[in-house]
Structure 1
Amino acid sequence: MPFRETLKELVESVDGGLGAVIMGYDGIAIDQFLVDDAGMDLHLMAVEYATVIREVKRTVDVLGTGDMEEVTVNTGQTRIIVRTINDDLFLLLTLHHDGNCGKGRYLLRRAAPLLHDSLS
């Protein structure tokens, strides 16, 4: 299942886009796209964030506040936006710190259901 074109379109459609990955909560990537000059190891970043996202998902489940939909992490250099696809997979978009986070969130909210349907 080639998802690279979808990921590429996501990254290139938002100012400051660096990369995107479809990954399982177990840390196994389905597919990814990274711009040439990103200067980061997207796979390693996504694997490390998978552990954190898995714990956030578990906490949300324990609290019974509804299904986890989105998590955003802002650092001095990047913005990481994570959107759930289904119970096993999430979509991660990374941007420059000054990238357009609002548009990134919007694009992920649109893409996640389409990816869900493609994976079903």
Structure 2
Amino acid sequence: MPFKRILTELVDAVPGATGAILVDWEGEAVEQFCHFDEFEMKVIGAHKGIILTRLRELHDGLQLGELEDFMITAGNQKHLVAPVGPEYFLVMTMERSALSGLAQRMARLAVDQLKKEIC
């Protein structure tokens, strides 16, 4: 499966992006690409999975539609989290200066590609 290619292309498409990881519902890394320590990327992925689970629980009661993505900005980094169906999710890390709109657009395209590969 071309998960690595999809993640690499995502990171390369967004100036300031530093990594992307596909994670399963248990917080385990399926595939990743990053410009920093791979273990750190796995920790970020697992941590964002916990946040996604809690956010989904809160969101489900609001009848607003399906959660598409969210971004966390802290310090000098931004992390974009996007579900890939009910069992997987994508996390992209980037410098704070990265363009959020571009990152969101490219992440949504990557999610579509990942969904096609998973199904």
With normalisation by structure 1, the TM-score equals: 0.91
- Unaligned runs of at least 5 residues, structure 1: none
Aligned twin of 1:47: 46
Aligned twin of 1:30: 30
Give the counterpart letter for 2:85 in structure 1. Answer: N
Aligned twin of 1:68: 67
In 2, distance between residues paired with 1:27 and 1:44?
Answer: 9
**Alpha-carbon distance, 1:62 to partner:** 2.3
SS in 2 for 1:93: strand
Contact 2:7–2:110 (Cα < 8 Å) also in 1: no
Contact 2:48–2:81 (Cα < 8 Å) also in 1: no
Contact 2:16–2:98 (Cα < 8 Å) also in 1: yes
How many matched pairs?
118
Is 1:102 aligned with 2:101?
yes
**Alpha-carbon distance, 1:72 to partner:** 0.6
Give the counterpart letter for 2:64 in structure 1. Answer: T
Aligned twin of 1:21: 21
In 2, distance between residues paired with 1:97 and 1:17?
Answer: 9
SS in 2 for 1:99: coil
- Unaligned runs of at least 5 residues, structure 2: none
Is 1:6 aligned with 2:6?
yes
1:32-63, Cα deviation, whole Å (9 max, x unpaired): 0011xx36711111111110111101111122
1:6-28, Cα deviation, whole Å (9 max, x unpaired): 10111011111100001123201
With normalisation by structure 2, the TM-score equals: 0.92
Contact 1:25–1:51 (Cα < 8 Å) also in 2: no
Percent identical among aligned pairs is 24
Aligned-residue CA RMSD (Å) = 1.4
Aligned twin of 1:91: 90
Which sits farther off after the overlay, 77-86 or 40-49? 40-49
